[in-house]
Amino acid sequence: MDPEELAHLVLQLAVLLMAAKLFGLLFKKFKQSEVLGELIGGMVVGPFALGAITLPFIGKLFPVIESVGEHVSTLPISTELYFFGQIGAILLLFLVGLETDAKLFIKYGMKSLGIALGGVVLPFFLGVWGTMMFGFADNIMDTSALFMGAIMVATSVGITARVLSDMYKLDTQEGVTILAAAVIDDVIGILILALVLSLAGGGAEGGDGFSWVQLGTIGLKAVGFLGGMTLIGWFFGKKLSNVLLKLDGKSYMAIAAAICFAVAAVAEMFGLAMIIGAYLAGILLSVTKVGKELEEKLAGASHLIVPVFFAIMGTLVDFQAMGAVLVFGLVISVFAVIGKVLGSGLPALFTGFNFLGSMRIGIGMLPRGEVALIVAGIGLSAGIISGEIFGVAIMMTLITTLMAPMILIPLFKNPKSGLKNPPEEDNIEVIEPYRVLKQSPHFILAMRDFLIEEFEKKGYELLRVDKIRGITEIVHSEDKFKILTVKRDNGILTIDCSAGSTADVDAIVASGLDHFEQAVASLKTT
Amino acid sequence: MDPEELAHLVLQLAVLLMAAKLFGLLFKKFKQSEVLGELIGGMVVGPFALGAITLPFIGKLFPVIESVGEHVSTLPISTELYFFGQIGAILLLFLVGLETDAKLFIKYGMKSLGIALGGVVLPFFLGVWGTMMFGFADNIMDTSALFMGAIMVATSVGITARVLSDMYKLDTQEGVTILAAAVIDDVIGILILALVLSLAGGGAEGGDGFSWVQLGTIGLKAVGFLGGMTLIGWFFGKKLSNVLLKLDGKSYMAIAAAICFAVAAVAEMFGLAMIIGAYLAGILLSVTKVGKELEEKLAGASHLIVPVFFAIMGTLVDFQAMGAVLVFGLVISVFAVIGKVLGSGLPALFTGFNFLGSMRIGIGMLPRGEVALIVAGIGLSAGIISGEIFGVAIMMTLITTLMAPMILIPLFKNPKSGLKNPPEEDNIEVIEPYRVLKQSPHFILAMRDFLIEEFEKKGYELLRVDKIRGITEIVHSEDKFKILTVKRDNGILTIDCSAGSTADVDAIVASGLDHFEQAVASLKTT
């Protein structure tokens, strides 16, 4: 590999990473999905936009790659860069798996099942139907149509969660229902991808399409892999966790990543997508002790690679191809909205929510984001879907993910309850500033950590930890009227809480002060 | 890119990362260089060893790649993987640059200059001469010979630093001299690489080798780049640092990495190696406020990529080629030892060290490690050096880096001073356990951070922070008899110190307890 070629790749990487971060931060500033910013960053600098301009010394930053050796390339960018990005996708799905909140799933899973299923089935069939309607597929078993369906399925709950959390609404009935439904949604979406991908692979090998024997074999292989891995995880997950925790943080992170890569590669051998393997590996480790630690370490490390993945997805968007299918794209986007608002909203009407609550849930499930992008990328790179369908998928992702927060915020600002029979006290539960402690940053940090541990001992659990802004949201596991946030900004600790938990806050702060007082006293006497 | 191919690459990555980590940890356990373990991990699983075995389902894990498109490949592994590894090398050199201790350099630079220069010049010429002696080069301007010389130059001080730190000898005259000399060593080594690489490039283009005009042009370009970048860094470094510090940690890490990649790519356009650009970017940022923060964040993130780089270097080792040049390799290794022991040791004799001190310094400068590996990799991939010479370089790196700690430990266990005129009190400066504080982990953590800040206010400076083992080494900036270590293990804080600083320790611990007492009291009254 000659140094010049290598340097050009490194320059491409530099530009992609920079564009991803700058657009990502810009989007974040306007309360939009960072992922979309990263995607658009890649679109802007990629081979179909600025990257096509011939520069002095460098030439075109992103010349469109047309062939690899003797083969026609399915991708307009180099395989080296694409591989780098794929590692990002695998790490991301591993992280999504690690972040899976099994507790929430068990608690609200049954209630959310209908909402999740409706939000899977309707978008899938609308996607298939839309693709046929515009002549990109002949019948319902056409892989292009099935792939479009698969792309439409998975909710990307990140942006909804951030909007609700900013409004302190993540703990509402609507909030937890959305979170739980999105988990189920992810799992089903990824299973659908597995099935569609297997069908596509089978079709390509077997010649003319579909046979029940083939489908059976494919299903057996997939179930065999998922079952086998789950068994391995069940039996060895805890042991692995204990071994990993004996190592330093950097080492166990690297080893866990290596395991995730291996499981991803094996998944592909069983006819599944690599991200399915990575996701499964994440879920299996999420229930072990090392899981939460890993999540934190990897989230840091993956920040060098994951944004590059989304920017690379952006570089694949051929605007000309996308322009030719603008109407198709708009219709699919409308279908994507209908699919979730009706698909998830209708079942919500039958599980205790009123019209307002159902709308909140339907819109909350709207953003497609990362999983749709990953699935679309797999289809394009494997040659299963065309550049046009890829463009449509990107358009749909952009529109749904941009729309959601704009509608969600007014819907949740409405003070009315989203439940058919709201409990009388439902409006009392307001969080207000309660106590502020000012001291040296060292003391405040220690105090914060001590207090949070004490809350956990008293039956509270952590709803959300925002390390960047130093906010911890805490709710009592049995009494949802006891809710509070602890915010640390250097030497200032602010505790906001609901009326129900002021007594607990007082008691725990007092015990914290006693603890530190005794600590000093005991050390002074020795 | 078809999914099967992609999955095979991901599997290769998984195996490389796993092998790198396992062998790295094994080596670390035996107090050897982790980098060597990672290298050997790659050798073991690579295309010339286990990777060549045909496995069921997978086939050969690492089939030797013989061509890329129509070109003969200079590398036995895929360009996708190689590119991934190169990103690791660039990040590593960026980190080395960020870690550069400018203070130490300014303080001990002049004294260490002769030691560093001797340790550069002698190994370089021995490398060139050895290569000619074994018939791998015709004359002194042959690029193979010059490259071998360049590989022999740079000391990798990491392993020496770790050995000395474990023995509490890093603050001895020998210790600081080695550290400072290694900094100079790195800079000169990288300049030599720039020169040799430019000559090689010029030779390949211009046909038959050397002309003064060409050398002038090359030199001008290189100086222009280094000077230009330094000016840019000088004027904009602080502004950049301030802008970056306004972002969250993950974002500024990613943006800094993007900048480093861009500078690396531009360096290549000026005829320098990419790692030179990365190193320079690191040095320029190391003096800014964001530098130290970056170092920490990036060190975590790079742990997923850097070990892969060393493992990839291992996969490039063709044992057959290496076997054929075993004698050459052994002679070069002996030259590498002589080069540093005489080259650095003799000048040490003239700067106040006795025979023992000079030996300590010469052996301390012995390990070659990462820089040698990177330089050798550049030569192989660009087709400047052959597989044989690459094998010799690896052998030399392995032998020198394994040898150093075995000799260093007994040399430093010898209680005699390494100075010609040791100050009378030189043996009094012993660190002994002084105070132990036991309390809740929260309290101890806050106390530790508070105490360290207080020590810094009283004119102490941090010599070394080992986050993994929770040890901070602190020395008074003007009085080197005031030296101490603070070790935290959960709820136990151990302070070991020299006799000179017991009074300071008492005062500062007391002030810490007072501080926390007052903190509690002030919060209790409000």
* Three-class HEC string of B227-295: HHHHHHHHHHHHHHHHHHHCCCHHHHHHHHHHHHHHHHHHHHHCCCCHHHHHHHHHHHHHCCHHHHHHH
The whole-number pLDDT of residue B121 equals: 94
Q: Which of B15, B249, B262 sits opposite A11 (nearest CB)?
A: B262
- Helix, strand, or coil (residue A93): helix
B84 interaction partners in chain A (CB closer than 8 Å): 80, 83-84, 87
The whole-number pLDDT of residue A429 equals: 62
In A, minimum Cα distance to B58 occurs at A269
Report how far residue A34's alpha carbon sits from residue A22's, in angstroms, rounded to the nearest whole number: 10
**Structural contact between residues B130 and B336, judged by C-beta atoms closer than 8 angstroms:** no
Mutation choice for B interface testing from A95, A523, A525 by most B CBs within 10 A:
A523
Closest approach of B312 to chain A, Cα-based (Å): 14
pLDDT > 70 fraction of chain B, expressed in percent and rounded: 93
CB-CB under 8 Å, A90 with B257: no
> If you average pLDDT over residues A291-295, what whole number do you get?
84
Please return the burial class of B324, using the count of CB atoms within 10 Å of its CB with bins 0-12, 13-18 and 19+.
middle
Largest CA distance in chain B: 85
CB-CB under 8 Å, B520 with A10: no
CB-CB under 8 Å, A57 with B269: yes
Does pLDDT of B205 surpass 60? no
In A, minimum Cα distance to B197 occurs at A3
Residue B521 CB neighbours (<10 A): 12
Does pLDDT of B182 surpass 60? yes
Report how far residue A41's alpha carbon sits from residue A35's, in angstroms, rounded to the nearest whole number: 10
| A471: phi then psi, degrees, rounded to nearest 5 | -110, 135
* Residues pairing with A68 in the sheet: A71
- Helix, strand, or coil (residue A424): helix
* Strands, E assignment, B53-105: 54-55, 59-60, 67-68, 71-72
**Structural contact between residues A279 and A96, judged by C-beta atoms closer than 8 angstroms:** yes
Count of residues in chain B: 526
The whole-number pLDDT of residue B206 equals: 42
The whole-number pLDDT of residue A171 equals: 72
CB-CB under 8 Å, A523 with B520: no
Of the candidates B115, B123, B105, the residue with the CA atom closest to the CA atom of residue B353? B115
> If you average pLDDT over residues B149-178, what whole number do you get?
81
Residue with tokens 């060893």: B49
Largest CA distance in chain A: 85
User: Radius of gyration of chain A from Cα atoms?
Assistant: 25
The whole-number pLDDT of residue A204 equals: 45
Mutation choice for A interface testing from B13, B82, B434 by most A CBs within 10 A:
B13
Closest approach of A122 to chain B, Cα-based (Å): 29
Q: Poorest-confidence range of A280-289, B318-327, B423-432?
A: B423-432
Reported pTM:
0.79
The whole-number pLDDT of residue B149 equals: 94
**Structural contact between residues A419 and B40, judged by C-beta atoms closer than 8 angstroms:** no
CB-CB under 8 Å, B253 with A304: yes
Most confident of A358-367, A414-423, B109-118, B301-310: A358-367
Mutation choice for A interface testing from B493, B520, B524 by most A CBs within 10 A:
B520
**Structural contact between residues A29 and A299, judged by C-beta atoms closer than 8 angstroms:** no
- Render pLDDT for B243-271 as a digit per residue (tens, 0 to 9): 988 888 788 899 999 999 999 999 888 87
Using 50, 70 and 90 to split pLDDT, how confident is the model at B118? very high
Of the candidates B91, B96, B50, the residue with the CA atom closest to the CA atom of residue B189? B96
Strand-strand pairing, B492-497 and B432-438:
antiparallel
- Render pLDDT for A101-143 as a digit per residue (tens, 0 to 9): 766 677 777 888 999 999 999 999 999 999 999 888 888 888 8
In B, minimum Cα distance to A305 occurs at B254
Residue with tokens 């980190």: B95
CA distances from A217 to A150, A195, A211, A274, B114 (A): 21, 11, 10, 19, 72
Q: What is the mean pLDDT of chain A?
A: 85
**In the 8-state DSSP scheme, what is residue B326?**
H
Report how far residue A122's alpha carbon sits from residue B429's, in angstroms, rounded to the nearest whole number: 77
A:B CB pairs within 8 Å: 265
Both tokens of A376, joined, read: 């679309």
Cα A200 from chain centroid (whole Å): 25
- Render pLDDT for B422-431 as a digit per residue (tens, 0 to 9): 776 554 467 7
| B225: phi then psi, degrees, rounded to nearest 5 | -65, -50
A165 in the Ramachandran plot: left (φ > 0), alpha (ψ -120 to 50) or beta? alpha
Closest approach of A305 to chain B, Cα-based (Å): 9
Cα B375 from chain centroid (whole Å): 13
A445 interaction partners in chain B (CB closer than 8 Å): 445-446, 449
Q: Amino acid identity of B511?
A: S
CB-CB under 8 Å, A69 with B251: no
* DSSP element (H, E) containing B456: helix B441-457
Closest approach of A456 to chain B, Cα-based (Å): 15
> If you average pLDDT over residues A467-475, what whole number do you get?
78
Most confident of A89-103, B13-27, B290-304, B434-448: B13-27
**In the 8-state DSSP scheme, what is residue B138?**
S
Of the candidates B99, B28, B21, the residue with the CA atom closest to the CA atom of residue B299? B99
> If you average pLDDT over residues A256-271, what whole number do you get?
91
Report how far residue A318's alpha carbon sits from residue A298's, in angstroms, rounded to the nearest whole number: 32
- Helix, strand, or coil (residue A307): helix
pLDDT > 90 fraction of chain B, expressed in percent and rounded: 30
Residue B239 CB neighbours (<10 A): 10
Question: What residues contact residue B223 under an 8 Å CB cut-off, 6+ apart?
Answer: none
Does pLDDT of A368 surpass 60? yes
Q: Poorest-confidence range of A14-18, B208-212, B374-378?
A: B208-212
**Structural contact between residues A404 and A364, judged by C-beta atoms closer than 8 angstroms:** yes
Report how far residue B276's alpha carbon sits from residue B268's, in angstroms, rounded to the nearest whole number: 9
Does pLDDT of B203 surpass 60? no
Most confident of B144-148, B181-185, B383-387: B144-148
Most confident of A331-345, A414-428, A469-483, B154-168: A331-345
Q: Amino acid identity of B150?
A: A
In A, minimum Cα distance to B514 occurs at A520
Question: What residues contact residue A281 under an 8 Å CB cut-off, 6+ apart?
Answer: A94, A97, A229, A233, A259, A260, A263, A264
**Between A53 and B204, residue with greater pLDDT:** A53
CB-CB under 8 Å, B17 with A515: no
Q: Amino acid identity of A48?
A: F
Q: What is the mean pLDDT of chain B?
A: 85
The whole-number pLDDT of residue B210 equals: 55
Report how far residue A306's alpha carbon sits from residue B396's, in angstroms, rounded to the nearest whole number: 38
Report how far residue B85's alpha carbon sits from residue B75's, in angstroms, rounded to the nearest whole number: 13
The whole-number pLDDT of residue A425 equals: 53
A297 interaction partners in chain B (CB closer than 8 Å): 300
The whole-number pLDDT of residue B207 equals: 45
Report how far residue B110's alpha carbon sits from residue B114's, in angstroms, rounded to the nearest whole number: 8
Closest approach of B237 to chain A, Cα-based (Å): 17
> If you average pLDDT over residues B294-309, what whole number do you get?
87
Does pLDDT of A452 surpass 70? yes
Report how far residue A295's alpha carbon sits from residue A100's, in angstroms, rounded to the nearest whole number: 10
The whole-number pLDDT of residue B425 equals: 53
Both tokens of B381, joined, read: 């991939």
Does pLDDT of A203 surpass 60? no
Number of Cα atoms under 13 Å in the Cβ half of residue B384: 28
* DSSP element (H, E) containing B5: helix B3-29
Closest approach of B255 to chain A, Cα-based (Å): 6
Residue A517 CB neighbours (<10 A): 17
Both tokens of B244, joined, read: 């970056």
Does pLDDT of B225 surpass 90? no
Report how far residue A400's alpha carbon sits from residue A33's, in angstroms, rounded to the nearest whole number: 11
Report how far residue B186's alpha carbon sits from residue B283's, in angstroms, rounded to the nearest whole number: 12
- Provide, for chain B, the percentages of residues in helix, strand and coil under a 3-state DSSP scheme, each rounded to the nearest 5: 70, 10, 20
Closest approach of B147 to chain A, Cα-based (Å): 16
User: Radius of gyration of chain B from Cα atoms?
Assistant: 25
> If you average pLDDT over residues A165-184, what whole number do you get?
80
Outline where B138-211 has alpha helix (H): 143-153, 158-166, 173-206
Report how far residue B365's alpha carbon sits from residue B87's, in angstroms, rounded to the nearest whole number: 27
| B463: phi then psi, degrees, rounded to nearest 5 | -85, -40
Q: Amino acid identity of B192?
A: I
